[in-house]
Amino acid sequence: MSQAPYFVPRAPYAEDPFKSKGRRFQEDESRTRTPFARDRDRIIHTSAFRRLKEKTQVFVAHEGDNFRTRLTHSLEVAQVARSLATALGLDSDLAETIALGHDLGHPPFGHAGEDELEIQMRDYGGFDHNVQTFRVVTELEHRYPDFLGLNLTWETLEGIIKHNGPVTNKLGKPSWKAIQRYDNDYGLGLDTWASAEAQVAALADDIAYNNHDVDDGVTAGLFTLDELMDVPLIGPILYAVKSERPDLDPRLTHLEAVRRMIGAMVDDVMGETLQRAAATGVSSADDVRALDHALVAFSPDMAEDLARLRAFLYERMYRHWRVNRTRSQARRILGEMFALFLKEPEVLPTVWFAKSQNRDEAGRARVVCDYIAGMTDRFAIEEHRKLFHLDVWN
């Protein structure tokens, strides 16, 4: 017997796309999409989104086709965000849109690339991947004749820059001056929490990366299923899978455990969020922003288990000698290119060289940073070879 279609009534504190605060530049509305769905489509069609397919999550893109990249990670985050938003009665288009756009500013080689650009830009205004993401969607993408950026709705921009919470404590950093300038002209309420949909996207990010890092770590041989048995959250789930299905091979065992862990984390967020909504009595999207804490959250027990899981992953995966070796190589590649481009901007591609002209040193450094931040892993490796190894021209 078939079941009725899954349906959850719209929550009173969900964002209403037809009551959006609008876009910075006036445009006619789409005939076929809500404003948030239109934002989603604009993000998907960007060059920055396409380049995520060969940007590192943990493993460099050329290390194997089975590992996550920034693109597959973003798609997994979007799937979890959309499902969770739907189950909570929120606007799933907005949650999905913020999830798809949250990593657009990440440079090549994951956190190693971000760390290196932070060092290189230390004397030139700094670097922050969240700020870079915001600059991508408001300035760096140029696809429309009447404005720079994507002209996204206020709600999407708010979610992109503060999905993890208020950001006023960051505004004193040089790297956040671009956000301060934008906020002065187009206030984003940087001292409040973002919408429930943006908070869903943030939690979906945590759910996705913790689970796929377990998956990728086992696949890469950085740790075994037996070593996970004593780790909170994943350990008890692995034990249950092995007890219920002793016939499964190790690959299917770990995949089934990861699948169940995603479900456990989603269920936990739903329970905690509904409990907080009832306790606070939020009845509008503005009520969510007015809270002094997150509405969408893990329970304290789940948060503690996740902290211990992350500690295991940090020790056994993120600082594994194989990953460290790749991080070291990546930082040298980006550092050497940055120094060369800043000293000799004439070796930049024509468009980027033109952007570097008639600027002071800090301005040229920002152009160089934007060029490098937009590279894929593979392109960065090839560009470095062309710049520093003459034999590639043979």
Can you tell me whether residue 23 is helix, strand or coil? Answer: strand
- Predicted pLDDT of residue 393: 54
Tokens of 240: 């249950």
Of 125, 203, 160, which is closest to residue 39 (Cα–Cα)?
160
Of 99, 129, 107, 128, which is closest to residue 39 (Cα–Cα)?
99
Give the integer Cα–Cα distance in Å for 124 and 276: 43
Tokens of 365: 């450094």
- Predicted pLDDT of residue 66: 53
- Predicted pLDDT of residue 129: 94
The residues, ordered by sequence, that sit 6+ positions from 94 with a Cβ below 8 Å of its Cβ are 15, 17, 36, 39, 85, 155, 156, 159, 195, 197, 198
- Predicted pLDDT of residue 7: 75
- Predicted pLDDT of residue 9: 93
Pick out the chain residues at pLDDT < 70. Answer: 1-6, 57-67, 390-394
∠ CA 303-307-309, nearest 5°, is: 115
Neighbours of 339 (CB within 10 A): 12
∠ CA 333-338-343, nearest 5°, is: 135
Can you tell me whether residue 27 is helix, strand or coil? Answer: coil
pTM of the full predicted structure?
A: 0.93
DSSP secondary structure, 56-89, as one string: BSSS-GGG-TTS-BHHHHHHHHHHHHHHHHHHTT
Tokens of 252: 């299917």
Q: Which domains does the chain have, with CATH numbers?
A: 35-186 (1.10.3210.10), 199-322 (no CATH)
Tokens of 293: 């804490």
∠ CA 328-161-291, nearest 5°, is: 125
64 Rama class: left (phi>0) / alpha (psi -120 to 50) / beta: left
Tell me which DSSP letter residue 316 carries: I
Give the position of tokens 């090839």.
382
Tokens of 15: 């964002």
Tokens of 132: 């870079």
- Predicted pLDDT of residue 174: 95
Neighbours of 88 (CB within 10 A): 24
- Predicted pLDDT of residue 392: 54
DSSP secondary structure, 120-158, as one string: HTTTTT---HHHHHHHIIIII-B-BTTBSB---BHHHHH
Three-state helix/strand/coil letters over 253-289: HHHHHHHHHHHHHHHHHHHHHHHHHHHHCCCCHHHHH
Three-state helix/strand/coil letters over 331-377: HHHHHHHHHHHHHCHHHCCHHHHHHHCCCCHHHHHHHHHHHHHCCCH
Give the position of tokens 């960051």.
170
Q: What stretches of 277-364 adopt beta strand conformation (E)?
A: none
CA dihedral of 165, 171, 172, 176, whole degrees rounded to 10 = 120
